Amino acid sequence: MEADTRLFRPVCATSKSWTQFSRSKETEGGASRAGEELDILVAMPFFMHVVTARGFVRGLLLSGLLILSGCLPYSCRRDANEALFPSDSLSRRVAQNAPADTLQRIGVTTGTKAHPLAYPRTVRFVDGSAVAVSDAQRNSLFRFDTTGSFQRELRDEAFAVPYLIGHRQDTLVVFNAEADRIDFVTNGRRLPDRAVSYERPARETLVYLLATDRRLYAKVVGQEFGAHVSRLDSSGAVVAQTDLGGPYWRRAGFLRAWGDSLVSLSGYRPVVHTLPRSFADGATPDSLALMGFDSPMLERSFAYATGDVDKPPLLTASAAALEDRLFVLNLRPGWVQIDVYDRSGQLQRRLIERHSEGDRNFYPVDLDAQRVDGGIQFAVGVRSPTPQLELFYWQPTARR
């Protein structure tokens, strides 16, 4: 699967689970709690079980939607300490000199009255003319056209916290995180005979899956397991595996295919790790720093590393690779910002949605990109304050 859980300080996953809430008067399961405001991140000192709201939150834990601790950049308190990692200081100077373009919004949808989006989790362009969205609360797949017009919602009793992990021609590949099963969906139908089971190393681990045209990959992150990436065969068995090294919480993030490379993302530091798609067992990943990445919370990243604060900020939510560019969803309070990097990890441009004011509740969760006539189209899944799909267009111009 692809999980967006960020692991922070070592905790015993069998005694504590942590979950993420938007600042809302509703719980993730939809039960109203009048007058109660939940912090963006709240500790839940017990496991939640089966069905209804409890089953949903448990499903989120198993699927990697939950985070062990931490904060979104704009929900963290800015620390007075202005110290930075030297690499972040240099990166900020690069960002200040990078050109910025305006993202043109071309569509937004919350679904329909009969088919409302509840928890859009992953987004994928399909067939060049549609956008698929997985909904982790409704356990369904939505399909919209590229302007945001609703086409259909596919519900199946076998869906259990679905994540879109790729597509093969006209077939969507879906990881049902709570069931640890990979499904294939064609023409609006799940194909049970093609389903593949994935053996999660332990229930406490977080798993991110990716399906390319010919291969399956899995990244596993956990306190007792560290972080490693595996290449799987068609039955889901491990063919090759490599250790990502470093603190395990820094390795939490999606997997992406970028040309001939496999890319492991991190939400907590501006760095990615790359491997050949056909990497051998024990291969050493290459580390690629995203030079030019900036965030108002880089100071807090340093403060967390030095032990001065107890929660690291989430800096990025997702990324999309297209041709020679890596588009990174840089979390900002109230608007979409997409940073454009080249193959060397150098910032080329900042793409910023036009905005007049911020919104601390704004939380985009996933990003995809596709080439259209004369430019690039983006699909962004937004969790809060309103669950919705946003569509943008960018026409590249000569660098100023």
Residue 302 in any domain: the answer is yes
Q: Does some domain include residue 131?
A: yes
pLDDT band for position 61 (cuts 50, 70, 90): very low
347, two tokens: 């910032």
Contact 300, 293 (CB under 8 A): no
Rg (CA), the chain: 20
At 363, which CATH number?
2.120.10.30
Contact 175, 1 (CB under 8 A): yes
Is residue 17, in this structure, part of any structural domain at all?
A: no
Strands (E), 169-254: 171-176, 181-186, 189-190, 196-197, 206-211, 216-222, 226-232, 238-243
CB 394 within 8 A of CB 378: yes
- Higher-confidence residue: 39 or 219? 219
80 found inside a domain: no
Q: What is the pLDDT of residue 70?
A: 56
Instruction: State how far the alpha carbon of 187 is from the alpha carbons of 149, 151, 171, 181, 275, in Å.
Output: 18, 13, 8, 20, 33
- Looking at the structure of the chain, the number of domains it has is 1
* Highest mean pLDDT of the ranges 65-69, 185-189, 245-249: 185-189
Supply the mean pLDDT for the chain: 83
Distances in Å between the Cα of 387 and the Cα atoms of 59, 118, 361, 365 are 19, 6, 11, 10
Res 374: pLDDT: 87
In a domain, 12, yes or no: no
356 and 302 in contact (C-beta within 8 Å)?
A: no
Which of 16-30, 96-110, 196-210 is least confident? 16-30
Q: Is residue 3 part of a domain?
A: no
Distance CA 60, CA 285 (A): 29
Helix, strand, or coil (residue 72): coil
Range of the domain at 208: 86-394
Residues 166-176 pLDDT 10s = 999 889 999 99
Q: Does the CA dihedral 169-321-233-197 come out positive or negative? A: negative
Does a structural domain hold residue 382?
yes
Instruction: Establish if 353 belongs to a structural domain.
Output: yes
Q: What is the pTM of this model?
A: 0.83
pLDDT at 338 over 70: yes
Which of the pair, 8 or 340, is modelled with greater confidence?
A: 340
> CA end-to-end span of the chain, whole Å?
40
